[in-house]
Amino acid sequence: MEVLEFNENLKFDENLILVLGYFDGLHRGHQALFKQAREIASVLNLKIAVLTFPEKPTIAFQKFEPDLLLKLTSDDKRAKLFAENGVDYLVFQDFTSKFAHQTSAEFTQNFVKKFNPKVVVTGFDYTTGSDMKNLKSSDDFKVVIVPELADKVGKISSTRIRDAVKAGNVAKANELLGYAYETRGRVVHGFARGRQLGYPTANLVIKDYVHIPAAGVYTVDVAINQKILRGFASIGYNDTFNNKEKTIEVHIFDFSEEIYGEELTILWLDKIRDMIKFDGIDSLIAQMKSDETTARNW
């Protein structure tokens, strides 16, 4: 897959299938859209291009808060998911005020036609331009609108997944995503409290702008050095930062290597329990043994 930045000189000579959208998380609803795009591309023997944005479009409209930068997937993971969904050209365009204030006709002329599309594939709720119109088929290209994918609750959406992650319901988030929600971090030195309890932990610094699950203890898989290992992880708050900065510690089962400075990825599988204040070391160790049993048997 080729990753490009959109500019006014960008123009594709070959015909393409163009997919439009932001696609935070590339969840099951998005995957249905890309399945449709792949089927069309196979019939027409064309490659697939995506025009998307590096950040949420809402940044151009709302008062800024740091949470606006948070995503369901890191930039690297998002690119990997695009490639897995059959994308040949991934093109990024900043969602600026100038971009937002275009009309639909201007968007079509300034952006869509640069991809020389035979077919444009969008979701049912995708609109273009300041006049908020749906893209229409023309003499130049056909527009295919993919309907929503829903479960018993309603539409499968990034909003529902974000809410599930923030509530700690990672099992539901995974069901909606179609894959395990993940967090990538760098292993750093902590207080070594886990080691004193017989449960050494890797303390993680999270550098990606992604949503972190709610405080609690979770069953996890850990991807490190091309291996997937089971463990359990705790998410708490750092007193140094007035209980606002979340901290992540993970104990990897049957693993004793020193991995300071290395990068690992936590795959969140299910929540075991909320955080508990213990009255002593013995009760804490007993609870950790119970957590281990739950995680191993998941």
The catalytic site residues sit at: 249
> Beta-strand (E) ranges in 125-244?
142-146, 181-188, 202-206, 216-224, 227-237
Output the six-digit token pair for 35.
């399945």
Q: Which of 199, 183, 180, 170 is nearest to 263 (CA)?
A: 183
Residue 24 corresponds to which amino acid?
Answer: D
End-to-end CA distance of the chain: 36
Which residues have C-beta within 8 Å of that of residue 295, sequence separation ≥ 6? Answer: 219, 220, 230, 231, 232, 253, 272
Residue 43 corresponds to which amino acid?
Answer: V
Number of C-alpha atoms within 13 angstroms, CB side, residue 274? 3
Q: Kindly tell me the number of DSSP H helices and DSSP E strands found in the chain.
A: 8, 12
Pairing state between β 263-273 and 181-188: antiparallel
Do residues 70 and 97 lie in contact, with contact meaning Cβ atoms separated by under 8 Å?
Answer: no
Which residues have C-beta within 8 Å of that of residue 209, sequence separation ≥ 6? Answer: 69, 70, 71, 74
Q: DSSP 3-state assignment of 196? A: helix
